[in-house]
Structure 1
Amino acid sequence: MENHNHQQLIEKLLNCANTCEICFSHCLSEGGMMANCAKLDRDCADSCRHAIALLQSQSVIGHQYLVLCEEICRKCAEECAQHQHEHCQRCAQACQECAEACHSHHEQITQR
């Protein structure tokens, strides 16, 4: 794994995690019809925070983990984009930007 400067990627991941947490809180208060959105918000926030930890510790799987993080961000963006709530629209945008950042930094998952 190359030693990249991950500051911009980490900022995107952190922004995504924070935006997902805000969306999660709002979705919980809006009731059952937003349950799937809330679940994906939580999954995405957790995934982004884990990616940050792996990158900061220079884990050997950090860049491979970004493949999964990208996928979760894309799923969350897709779900949030379906809702007209302002918090969902902001979340969809943050998730899409994070997915693109993960895509530009990830390595393929390999089994050894």
Structure 2
Amino acid sequence: MAHQTHQEAIKALHECMEACNHCYDACLKEDDLNGMRDCIRLDRECADICAYLEQAITRGTPFVSELAQACAAICERCGEECKKHDHKHCQDCADACFKCADACKKLIA
């Protein structure tokens, strides 16, 4: 069984992946699609790395530290982009991204 730090990260990763997927879908429905381009792209990147790291941790990857470093960087970048937009889904996503980045940093050896 994964230890406490891993359990907290798994929860944060899952919540971030869900928030990014929701934000991605909601952004695609916004009128100013062009203005949402970076947000949409980063939502995809972030959801994918979070889902991958969640799976990798649960299967006992030896690369937790390296993957967590990349994930933290992507989460922070996605959070910064989402924070620029007033939509609730973007603000919620930013919060989840920053929380996930913090959880990932605790996994970096």
Give the Cα–Cα distance (whole angstroms) in 1 for the partners of residues 108 and 21 of structure 2: 24
Q: TM-score with structure 2 length normalisation?
A: 0.92
- Code of the residue aligned with 1:7 in structure 2: it is Q
Residues 25-79 of structure 1: per-residue CA shift (max 9 Å, x gap): 0111112210110000010000000101110111111222100000000000000
The unaligned stretches of length 5 or more in structure 1 are 108-112
Please list every run of at least 4 consecutive aligned residues from structure 1 whose deviation after the TM superposition is greater than 3 angstroms: none
Specify the code of the residue in structure 1 equivalent to 2:13. L
Q: Distance in 1 between matches of 2:3 and 2:15?
A: 20
Where 2:60 maps in the other structure, the secondary structure is coil
- Percent identity (aligned): 38
Q: Which ranges in structure 2 are unaligned for 5 or more consecutive residues?
A: none
> What one-letter code is carried by the residue in structure 1 that aligns with 2:25?
S
The answer on whether the counterparts of 2:64 and 2:107 sit within 8 Å (CA) in structure 1 is no
On the 8 A contact 2:65/2:108 being kept in 1, the answer is yes
TM-score, with structure 1 as normaliser: 0.89
Question: Larger relative CO (CA 8 A, sep 6+): 1 or 2?
Answer: 2
CA distance in 1, matches of 2:108, 2:18: 21
Whole-Å Cα distance in 2 between the matches of residues 19 and 35 of structure 1? 17
| Aligned alpha-carbon RMSD (Å) | 1.1
One-letter code aligned to 1:42: R
Q: Which amino acid letter does the alignment assign opposite residue 75 of structure 2?
A: C
